Chain A
């Protein structure tokens, strides 16, 4: 029996997961497939937050702001210009990146609790703007948007039906998630971890810390905007509730429950949050927040590395990899 190198084993697990996701439409019903699509999109959003919270150590309570900017940009483009998905995504990424740069310019100068409160304030500001700017956003009534299309003209290559959209969302998710993975593995990503671990030393090593914080804030904002674009394309509707405090909080909870500074944890955490909210809610008499809150507290207490830290803690993963290796030998 030949032992499998850990790097190769991890790659095999990843491939298996992607294959499983690719086969999901065959395995799941309409409702569950819709839920899985939501999880992937929200997971991407939560993973972008992990870049700030987990890797850089910046606790943001207002990340929904950038999701919302992306959503509105896509909604407005789709209503007024074209329902082409790529135009919507481009507008979303650009506008959320710009808004992140403008707000981040101030936010990254603050630390800890002040950063938390500033990000919260920006998000509330945008939330209020979305409600009051009636002529653009239709206020609390929200904006229904046309179905997105892949083709060049209006109506060509419509992403009709749950399965078509699921595959579209899966590809988009893999691109976004792959990008985030590349970022955290890059020298830039290591720089972020250095800032989290010891900011003062980073400065003494010649790092202009504020610049890196701003850069990661913009990247996280742009990826959130990307996820926001997908959200609207999926639900065909956008309202201010998409920017609410609760959206920011749920993403944060997903990151922490899944395990910070892992990226994949953010997606697992999102799955956990959505399953509790949508699948098991009736079992809890609609009190899913209570259950989520209790789990969240338990994780903060007992599992600082989140659920994805659990296998390493119990040695489960290593055993599983050995089994896989044994099977393939």
Chain B
């Protein structure tokens, strides 16, 4: 097929699969909230946080408890969940502290154990049935997009996701705090020599990363539903995202998340048999051709 033929087919594709494409973008943005924290934490601390998926799931459950269980407002649920995520990050920092000198293997193992514990705790409190948070009332309607109706809530998720990406990018690339962070990724000893408390920078990034994951769990709950197993699923997808995009790169996490979102959604709509393989196939190809990821630098 020539490029011209692809070009001619595109408008048709867009019409026919607009919903899939939009769904893919919404999923992609959810993955981004997971992946960006995972990626930053790894870049800064060399720790692969395998409990990240569990925090995503628990964040969703906490908000579910506040909104559905206690009947509080959506915003209150979101705030409590994000606060919970940040506290979880600080706790994680404390838990990792005694074995920081032991190398990434033991630290990854510790987070794996935490993932086991957290996801089982979740089933103790919230059972194994599907739980869902209804979307906020003012978003419970459809909006016309290119002649088709689409849930306003999912559009909002996309918007929030993009806004988040821009904010995180600007903070890391353009602010003093970000400069310290980037320097610490490059050379930890040098930054400590400048009199900056690297430990505190790490804690801040951990808290930010896990708060974002928790945030993702809340805004994802109306779309994905919460149940045991979702944690491992989003974790694996987020890992693929950062491997494709490049560990430690924010634009990489964004592009990777969008690609994986589309493979998951549009890919499944177009070629249902191939899509699941495309997911891992993409990762394998990227690792074979460009092991540092599309935006990675090593």
For window 285-318 of chain A, which residues contact chain B by CB distance below 8 Å? 287, 289-290, 292-294, 296-297, 300-301, 304
How far is it, in angstroms, between the C-alpha of A30 and the C-alpha of B276 when the chains are bound?
41
How far is it, in angstroms, between the C-alpha of A128 and the C-alpha of B276 when the chains are bound?
7
Which of B102, B108, B109, B121 has the most A CB atoms < 10 Å from its CB? B109
Secondary structure type dominating chain B contacts: helix
Mark the stretch among B150-158, B192-200, B277-285 that contacts chain A.
B277-285
B291 touches A110 (CB 8 A): yes
What residues of A have a CB within 8 angstroms of the CB of B240 in the complex?
Answer: 117, 121
Secondary structure type dominating chain A contacts: helix
Q: Taking the nearest CB of chain A, how far is it from the CB of B53, in angstroms?
A: 11
Contacts A106-B288, A113-B108, A114-B243 given; does A245 touch B236 at CB 8 Å: yes
Contacts A121-B280, A290-B121, A290-B124 given; does A113 touch B291 at CB 8 Å: no
Q: Taking the nearest CB of chain B, how far is it from the CB of A159, in angstroms?
A: 35
How far is it, in angstroms, between the C-alpha of A294 and the C-alpha of B288 when the chains are bound?
37
A122 adjacent to chain B (CB < 8 Å) = yes
A132 touches B243 (CB 8 A): no
Q: Count contacts on A: residues with CB < 8 A to the other chain.
A: 35
Mark the stretch among B24-32, B110-118, B179-187 that contacts chain A.
B110-118
Residue in A106, A113, A120, A293 whose CB lies within 8 Å of B117? A293
Q: Across the two chains, which residue of chain A brings its CB closest to B247?
A: A113
B104 touches A304 (CB 8 A): no
How far is it, in angstroms, between the C-alpha of A304 and the C-alpha of B105 when the chains are bound?
11
Residue in B104, B110, B114 whose CB lies within 8 Å of A113? B104
Interface residue tally on B, bucketed by range? 35 or more
Q: Across the two chains, which residue of chain A brings its CB closest to B121?
A: A290
Q: Across the two chains, which residue of chain A brings its CB closest to B239?
A: A117
Q: Across the two chains, which residue of chain A brings its CB closest to B50?
A: A61
A118 adjacent to chain B (CB < 8 Å) = yes
Q: Across the two chains, which residue of chain A brings its CB closest to B240?
A: A121
B120 touches A301 (CB 8 A): no
What residues of B have a CB within 8 angstroms of the CB of A121 in the complex?
Answer: 240, 243, 280, 283-284
Q: Taking the nearest CB of chain A, how far is it from the CB of B248, in angstroms?
A: 11
How far is it, in angstroms, between the C-alpha of A253 and the C-alpha of B291 when the chains are bound?
28
What residues of B have a CB within 8 angstroms of the CB of A113 in the complex?
Answer: 42, 48, 104, 108, 247
A297 touches B276 (CB 8 A): no
In the complex, 26 of the A-B residue pairs with CB atoms within 8 angstroms, ordered by the A residue number, are A106-B284, A110-B287, A110-B291, A113-B104, A114-B243, A117-B240, A121-B243, A122-B284, A124-B280, A128-B277, A132-B273, A249-B116, A252-B109, A253-B116, A256-B109, A287-B120, A287-B123, A289-B116, A290-B124, A293-B117, A293-B120, A294-B113, A296-B109, A300-B99, A300-B110, A304-B102
7 smallest beta-carbon distances between A and B, as pairs? A293-B116, A293-B117, A290-B120, A297-B113, A296-B113, A289-B120, A125-B280
A sample of 12 more A-B contacts (CB under 8 A), given A125-B277, A300-B110, A301-B99, is: A59-B108, A59-B109, A117-B243, A125-B284, A128-B280, A249-B112, A287-B120, A289-B117, A290-B116, A292-B116, A293-B113, A301-B98
Chain A residues with a Cβ under 8 A of chain B: 57, 59, 106, 109-110, 112-114, 116-118, 120-122, 124-125, 128-129, 132, 245, 249, 252-253, 256, 287, 289-290, 292-294, 296-297, 300-301, 304
Chain B residues with a Cβ under 8 A of chain A: 42, 48, 98-99, 102, 104-106, 108-110, 112-117, 119-121, 123-124, 232, 236, 239-240, 243, 247, 273, 276-277, 280-281, 283-284, 287-288, 291
